[in-house]
A and B are shown apart, each in its own frame.
Chain A
């Protein structure tokens, strides 16, 4: 029997907290709420959470400042709740240690999927093979198969794919990808990213004009979808 996962919800709006509590508890999560930064710190420190949902628009302190403070002593996955057209803030938060984000108003199904994807991080994957409905990757031999046929990927394309798979379901900022694949001095070279992601998509997606696996998160980065 699984122990219930602990989720902390930090949002200043009582209605949001209530709805989230109801929704999450119905999915068998244990929910603890906090309505401002002060409370949040106490709660995070004392209740050993498995995941934190943090609203960026907190009143007394910048959500970002709170995020940085939590991050300085706590490695728990954090999903930030944001509003549309604050892509800059989202990217900053992601680069400051948040793991994922979701924009209000959100669809419950989407929220739950994100929570699941980010909880998975705490469980270290042991598999040496990745498989979804039409792609399979063998990490040991570096062989990639699409629809049972082997496809050839360049080194960079392979590294990209690997990075996406390792973080499947979670958003990756442009900066993060560039830093991981190309190195810290390339974090401004978004054009490389576009070209290589475009090439990768051409090779692994079924339909070029309908990306099912690697999604573009407008203004933020990319996300690899979990396909059943």
Chain B
């Protein structure tokens, strides 16, 4: 039922965004294909196996996770050739059950896995309660899944199926799971065909077949079921098409923006209402919200369970679920409705009119109509339900017996005091005093029950002890009778009304407390200045507000869950529990006690989810061992979100601080280095400059004596300069701050430059360079390598005899540039070959000169390029240095 409006050409931006997000999510997960049928025996498993076999021939890695062949021979045949994953054995009540082994499948990393019977419920002790949750976990791990499903297993169709076949289906899946499938293949056969198959024993054994035909497999049933399956598949195509159109921004009709709200409570009737609303919402394509208004009326345990299952149902069917507290249901509903811009409220048809509900209950429909304003009220009817009126539940008579006793006592006391004064004030006034007492009772937390008792008792007392004739219940005058009746009514009404005001006030305060709790948490968190403080504040607040024990575990620096819990935690964790916590950490999903996943855990674990990764987990154990109420759960979820936000903020802060410190220390180092460098270089510059000046001018005037001395000054200064430069290089290397400035260079260029720079040092030696093959350009730090090779060559110069040749051979091999520098000197003693590159190492017995830094600097610079250097003795005498540098191009 569409609200076909004026032709607005406007795809809804919210919807578009949701589509895109869904698509994104889908890209990362595996694809789910459901083989869908109207009932057992149509051939779903068979079709699935056929498809699997075909996929296998196309080269896809297919395995069988779990298959139910029901001993049908045709089906069994198809399983041959496909690898079956052994099932996991779970023992429950001393019986062995077999369920799918999720972890084994994930480990095998198949491309496709077959899992029969999507709607199956796992046995207790399994990780998830339902098989579809197992399948979701597989999908999240990127594995594609084929599965089977009958139309009767869909949550929204239960009622209809029941009406058609009379059978109540127990194993169901939420419609959202069905919607999530990427592909639905309908396995359709005519009812006649199916019945024929049944008769041939192809579905069940002969025996069972006969029974089956009579009961479930009647032609009428089958036809109806078939229609339902067909319709569902068609609907799906329909909305997929609509999604497609919406996404491609193809113009179409603009849907009106309806938003629905359904009021639910702890009765099975609510479940029906929820399903009904879901169908309505689906056909209107409107979002819908389910609201439960918690009132003063207590909810019995049985009803609590029903309430919880109603909530779960609503959520699974795609509703947003909200709880609120208000003594006036209508008021609570309207409050939420206004907040969420609801256009239509759906409630169930009211109970039969009766005296009590009119007087004391609130007629929901009337109330709603009064205050709903623009919001439509839709009264869903047509669903049969047993009329249920529970006097005991209308009035909360579950007050403690002590309160009853106490109220009786109070009446007694007041009666006595009245007796003492009644002669002065008269018996009518006494009534007023009693009335006052009753009006005051609610202030002291007396419920309607004790107040009723008090009213009754005080009326009786008044009658007996005060109304003439005294000491009888008999009333003399007619006006006294009237007064008595009036009194009683007044007492009752006053008492109950004040009680109501009290509870209303209590609810408001409760709501206030909830908001306040969140406010306090957020404020304290904003003032926290490190992770420990955040943890302590979080634990403290959670403990105070929810009365639970709290456990906090953060992720380790490497990204996995830390093995240690934070010191602020209030309970320890053992290995088993830690494994559950790790699962939560890895899957970003809450699990544990009171949930559907890992329900046997001791505590409930929640992931702390940051923007890009999971920051840690929080585990809670309620001190009273009770499940949290919805209100509390809601509040807790908000707490978790706030804590995660604060954590993320703090982590970013710390990162920023670290980066800042690093930059600052680099700056400091640089300044220091520069100033030392400056101090050392300046006098040297002066000496070298001045001495070279003298030599220049003096060669012209020819005073050889001064020139030659000055020359010596120059030589000494240059030697000092080399030393200073070596020391500075060493300092740079040691500091760890040195950065490689790599750019494209030609290695030939390098050696040519070296030749020029070493002109003076090479006065009595010859330097020859040979290139064995063409060496392409690669990236390196020219200045560093130049210095490294200069140091090595200087070393060769120093220790080889005059007139000898120092040979440099350069070649490349598989993207590594290899340079061999050899001399004809004495070589190195064998035990020194390793130590040569150590700082300050000098081969024992060598002539003085040099600090032993040159080679170690060379090694440092070469290491910075991820290169290697080693020295060996040539068998023809002399040493050869082999340097290998990877020829990088990025």
**B777 contacts A19, CB within 8 Å?**
no
In the complex, how many angstroms separate the beta carbon of B308 from the nearest chain A beta carbon? 64
Chain A stretch 78-101: residues in CB contact (< 8 A) with chain B: 83-85, 87-88
In the complex, how many angstroms separate the beta carbon of B38 from the nearest chain A beta carbon? 67
Query: Given A19-B686, A85-B728, is A105 in contact with B693 using a C-beta cutoff of 8 Å?
Result: no
Query: Given A26-B697, A210-B752, is A83 in contact with B689 using a C-beta cutoff of 8 Å?
Result: no
User: Does B743 sit at the interface, judged by CB under 8 A?
Assistant: yes
Chain B 673-711: CB-based contact to A (< 8 A → 1; otherwise 0): 010011001111111111011001100000000000000
A106 contacts which chain B residues (CB < 8 A)?
685, 688-689
A57 contacts which chain B residues (CB < 8 A)?
674, 678
Chain B 60-101: CB-based contact to A (< 8 A → 1; otherwise 0): 000000000000000000000000000000000000000000
**A87 contacts B783, CB within 8 Å?**
yes
Q: How far is the CA of A85 from the CA of B755 in the complex (A)?
A: 19
Chain B stretch 724-756: residues in CB contact (< 8 A) with chain A: 725, 728-729, 732, 741, 743-746, 748-749, 751-753, 755-756
A104 contacts which chain B residues (CB < 8 A)?
681-682, 684-685
B682 contacts which chain A residues (CB < 8 A)?
13, 15-16, 104
- Could you say which of A119-127, A144-152, A155-163, A211-219 contacts chain B? A211-219
**B756 contacts A215, CB within 8 Å?**
yes
B684 contacts which chain A residues (CB < 8 A)?
104-105
User: Does B717 sit at the interface, judged by CB under 8 A?
Assistant: yes
User: Does A109 sit at the interface, judged by CB under 8 A?
Assistant: yes
B743 contacts which chain A residues (CB < 8 A)?
174, 190
Q: How far is the CA of A210 from the CA of B717 in the complex (A)?
A: 28
Size band of the interface chain B makes with A: 35 or more
In the complex, how many angstroms separate the beta carbon of A31 from the nearest chain B beta carbon? 14
Q: How far is the CA of A23 from the CA of B732 in the complex (A)?
A: 34
User: Does B588 sit at the interface, judged by CB under 8 A?
Assistant: no
Q: How far is the CA of A211 from the CA of B783 in the complex (A)?
A: 18
**B783 contacts A23, CB within 8 Å?**
no
**B745 contacts A109, CB within 8 Å?**
no
- Could you say which of A32-40, A45-53, A65-73, A191-199 contacts chain B? A191-199
In the complex, how many angstroms separate the beta carbon of B878 from the nearest chain A beta carbon? 23
In the complex, how many angstroms separate the beta carbon of A161 from the nearest chain B beta carbon? 18
**A88 contacts B683, CB within 8 Å?**
no
**A105 contacts B721, CB within 8 Å?**
yes
Chain A 184-228: CB-based contact to B (< 8 A → 1; otherwise 0): 000000110111001000000000011100011011000000000
User: Does A141 sit at the interface, judged by CB under 8 A?
Assistant: no
- B686: which of A16, A83, A193 is its contact (CB, 8 Å)? A16
**B717 contacts A105, CB within 8 Å?**
yes
B692 contacts which chain A residues (CB < 8 A)?
107-109
In the complex, how many angstroms separate the beta carbon of B372 from the nearest chain A beta carbon? 67
B729 contacts which chain A residues (CB < 8 A)?
85
User: Does B782 sit at the interface, judged by CB under 8 A?
Assistant: yes
In the complex, how many angstroms separate the beta carbon of A138 from the nearest chain B beta carbon? 29
User: Does B344 sit at the interface, judged by CB under 8 A?
Assistant: no
A195 contacts which chain B residues (CB < 8 A)?
777
**A194 contacts B746, CB within 8 Å?**
yes
Query: Given A109-B692, A191-B777, is A210 in contact with B755 using a C-beta cutoff of 8 Å?
Result: yes
Q: How far is the CA of A216 from the CA of B755 in the complex (A)?
A: 12
Chain B stretch 537-583: residues in CB contact (< 8 A) with chain A: none
Query: Given A26-B697, A105-B717, is A216 in contact with B753 using a C-beta cutoff of 8 Å?
Result: yes
User: Does A22 sit at the interface, judged by CB under 8 A?
Assistant: yes
Residue of A nearest to B786 (CB): A218
Q: How far is the CA of A210 from the CA of B752 in the complex (A)?
A: 6
In the complex, how many angstroms separate the beta carbon of B738 from the nearest chain A beta carbon? 10
B595 contacts which chain A residues (CB < 8 A)?
none
Residue of A nearest to B673 (CB): A85
In the complex, how many angstroms separate the beta carbon of B709 from the nearest chain A beta carbon? 17
Query: Given A16-B682, A216-B752, is A108 in contact with B728 using a C-beta cutoff of 8 Å?
Result: no
Q: How far is the CA of A106 from the CA of B693 in the complex (A)?
A: 11
Q: How far is the CA of A215 from the CA of B755 in the complex (A)?
A: 12
**B748 contacts A218, CB within 8 Å?**
no
Q: How far is the CA of A191 from the CA of B683 in the complex (A)?
A: 39
In the complex, how many angstroms separate the beta carbon of A26 from the nearest chain B beta carbon? 7
- Consensus secondary structure, chain B interface: helix
**B748 contacts A190, CB within 8 Å?**
no
Q: How far is the CA of A57 from the CA of B681 in the complex (A)?
A: 12
User: Does B769 sit at the interface, judged by CB under 8 A?
Assistant: yes
A19 contacts which chain B residues (CB < 8 A)?
686, 689-690, 693
Q: How far is the CA of A105 from the CA of B678 in the complex (A)?
A: 11
Residue of A nearest to B683 (CB): A15
B755 contacts which chain A residues (CB < 8 A)?
209-210
**A218 contacts B782, CB within 8 Å?**
yes
Residue of B nearest to A22 (CB): B693
Q: How far is the CA of A104 from the CA of B696 in the complex (A)?
A: 18
Q: How far is the CA of A105 from the CA of B674 in the complex (A)?
A: 15
Chain B stretch 838-865: residues in CB contact (< 8 A) with chain A: none
In the complex, how many angstroms separate the beta carbon of A93 from the nearest chain B beta carbon? 15
**A191 contacts B744, CB within 8 Å?**
yes
In the complex, how many angstroms separate the beta carbon of A127 from the nearest chain B beta carbon? 29
Q: How far is the CA of A103 from the CA of B651 in the complex (A)?
A: 46
Q: How far is the CA of A16 from the CA of B681 in the complex (A)?
A: 11
- B783: which of A15, A26, A219 is its contact (CB, 8 Å)? A219
Query: Given A218-B783, A219-B741, is A108 in contact with B696 using a C-beta cutoff of 8 Å?
Result: yes
**B777 contacts A209, CB within 8 Å?**
no
Query: Given A108-B692, A218-B753, is A194 in contact with B744 using a C-beta cutoff of 8 Å?
Result: yes
Residue of A nearest to B680 (CB): A83
Q: How far is the CA of A37 from the CA of B686 in the complex (A)?
A: 22
Q: How far is the CA of A146 from the CA of B744 in the complex (A)?
A: 29
Chain A stretch 155-179: residues in CB contact (< 8 A) with chain B: 174
A108 contacts which chain B residues (CB < 8 A)?
689, 692-693, 696
In the complex, how many angstroms separate the beta carbon of A144 from the nearest chain B beta carbon? 22
Q: How far is the CA of A54 from the CA of B859 in the complex (A)?
A: 35
**A85 contacts B693, CB within 8 Å?**
no
**A105 contacts B685, CB within 8 Å?**
yes
**B696 contacts A109, CB within 8 Å?**
yes
B777 contacts which chain A residues (CB < 8 A)?
191, 194-195
In the complex, how many angstroms separate the beta carbon of A53 from the nearest chain B beta carbon? 12
**B741 contacts A87, CB within 8 Å?**
yes
Q: How far is the CA of A209 from the CA of B783 in the complex (A)?
A: 19
**B749 contacts A216, CB within 8 Å?**
yes
A87 contacts which chain B residues (CB < 8 A)?
741, 783
In the complex, how many angstroms separate the beta carbon of B672 from the nearest chain A beta carbon? 13
Residue of A nearest to B771 (CB): A209
Chain B 471-493: CB-based contact to A (< 8 A → 1; otherwise 0): 00000000000000000000000
Q: How far is the CA of A109 from the CA of B741 in the complex (A)?
A: 31
A105 contacts which chain B residues (CB < 8 A)?
681, 684-685, 687-689, 717, 721
Q: How far is the CA of A62 from the CA of B727 in the complex (A)?
A: 25
In the complex, how many angstroms separate the beta carbon of B806 from the nearest chain A beta carbon? 15
Q: How far is the CA of A22 from the CA of B686 in the complex (A)?
A: 12
Most interface-central of A23, A88, A105, A111 (chain B CB within 10 A): A105
> Which 7 residue pairs across A and B have the least CB separation, nearest first?
A105-B688, A191-B744, A105-B685, A104-B685, A219-B783, A190-B744, A108-B692
Q: Given A104-B685, A218-B786, A219-B781, output 19 extra A-B contacts at Cβ < 8 Å.
A: A16-B682, A16-B685, A19-B693, A20-B689, A22-B693, A26-B697, A57-B674, A83-B681, A88-B741, A109-B696, A111-B689, A190-B743, A190-B745, A191-B744, A198-B746, A209-B752, A215-B756, A216-B782, A218-B782
A and B contact pairs by CB, cutoff 8 A, 14 listed: A15-B682, A19-B689, A19-B693, A23-B689, A84-B725, A87-B741, A105-B685, A105-B688, A105-B721, A108-B692, A109-B696, A190-B745, A198-B749, A215-B753
